[in-house]
Amino acid sequence: MKSLRVLMLLHPDRVPAESLKGFDEPEAREWKGEYEIVRTLRGAGHDVRPLGVQHELAPIRNEVENWKPDVAFNLLEEFHGQTAYDQNVASYLELLRVPFTGCNPRGLMLARGKDLSKKLLAYHKIPMPAFMVVPIGRKVRRPARMSFPLIVKTLSEDGSLGIAQASVVQSEEKLVERVAFIHERFGTAAIAEQFIEGRELYVGVIGNDRLRALPVWELEFSEAADAPSRIATAKVKHDPDYQERHGIRQGPAENLAPGLDKRIQAMAKRIYRALHLDGYARIDLRLSAGDVPYFIEANPNPDIRPGEEFAQASRHAGLDYSALLERLLALGLERVRKAH
């Protein structure tokens, strides 16, 4: 690929330093992954300009008018502190006619609402847990079809925000308590769904029209008696010390039934298309003891930092980190060319 001017959009707290020199691991942890993305793109010959964006769109417009980037590398997960506004920034880039990496606004919107995405996928006969939504101010009324245990989450946040061991509830009292916690702590509706006891699987998908499913990846938990419940809490996902302490690791899903990996990958592609996703996304699943893969949620624009499962699964599939980032740039440019 020819050298490009790449405007990288990210949260101001994640704008990386020019060098890791002088920083220890805890200090650099917040932005070290972004540093690696910048370093890799620059190593491929691209001119990369990180831009912290949080409360104003004007800085994006100024860079577009004055620097004239060829493409925006969109790493924003929120705007104005609201995760639901990520789609608005993507829409703004579309209005400015600036190519950008990652998912289109429609796909971001459909995937963000966990209840909406599940309703759409039910039409396509995708297996998923029974669920209920409890808006703020409403009483909890559990349908008869939903038996305990249930897992309670925020309806619209991602990144395992709000998920803890206490999220899995075994009684009416605990269900009401956890729903109230979600309402009060996060200011969103709560979603409660049937808890699927089983394996935590992820499938990365890359592409706009022609899709490539990455190897089925698994978040593996220790078999120790004092190990935490097998759910992807915020600590399990994002705390390296906690992961090491409890023997939690990620890697290719092993010992799957013959042909099950291909079936899961095909299912991930169906979900990706049904939700109008493009660019790249991660599909989260739970595999029951009966080898039924249940859709949990779709994550457009998942974390692609080098140590995360998406980048590791890509590498396992023969796509090294530089090639992965180049592919994401190419997909952003491709979508704009098709629109014109």
Q: Is 302 helix (H, G, I), strand (E, B) or coil?
A: coil
Same fold, 130-194 and 198-339: no
pLDDT higher than threshold 60 for residue 40: yes
Residue 42 predicted with pLDDT over 90: yes
Given a contact cutoff of 8 angstroms between Cβ atoms, the answer to whether 217 and 293 are in contact is no
The CATH number of the domain covering residues in 198-339? 3.30.470.20
268-312: per-residue pLDDT in tens? 999 999 999 999 999 999 999 999 999 999 999 999 999 899 999
Q: Is a pLDDT exceeding 60 seen at residue 184?
A: yes
Mean pLDDT computed over 1-24: 91
Measured in degrees and rounded to the nearest 5, phi and psi for residue 128 equal -155, 160
Q: Round to whole Å and give the CA distance between 40 and 329.
A: 13
CATH class, range 130-194 = alpha beta
- For the chain, the domains span 5-101, 130-194, 198-339
CB atoms within 10 A of CB 329: 22
Give the whole-number percent of the chain exceeding pLDDT 90. Answer: 77
The predicted structure's pLDDT at residue 235: 72
Task: Output the pLDDT for position 339.
Answer: 58
Whether the pTM exceeds 0.95: the reply is no
Domain 5-101, CATH number (from 3.40.50, 3.30.70, 1.10.3470, 3.50.4): 3.40.50
Pair of tokens at residue 319: 């796509």
**pLDDT > 70: percent of the chain:** 95
Is the per-residue pLDDT at 223 higher than 90?
no
Q: Are strands 168-169 and 279-288 parallel, antiparallel or unpaired?
A: unpaired
DSSP 17: P
DSSP-assigned states of every residue in 159-220: TTTT--GGGEE-SHHHHHHHHHHHHHHH-S-EEEEE---EEEEEEEEEESSS-EEPPPEEEE
